[in-house]
Amino acid sequence: MAEKVCKSCHRIVEGKVCPVCKESSFSRDWSGYVVIIDPKNSKIAERLGVDKPGRYALRVR
């Protein structure tokens, strides 16, 4: 079964509510992902607008 991704913040989630933005709108149609470990010192996290560590999808449809 494909993992689901929050449509709002692109976090790859397992539960019924996104732990980052508290939204419950998900998509299973996504591609690519990045793991952010240290968002304060990450240029990728800055570009994606991510401020919490975790796995994030690059493209969500």
Asked if residues 32 and 58 have their Cβ atoms less than 8 Å apart, the reply is: yes
Known binding-site positions for Zn(2+):
6, 9, 18, 21
Q: Which residue ranges make up the annotated binding site? A: 6, 9, 18, 21
Extract long-range pairs of 19-28: CB within 8 Å, 24+ residues apart.
20/52, 20/54, 27/60, 27/61, 28/2, 28/3, 28/4
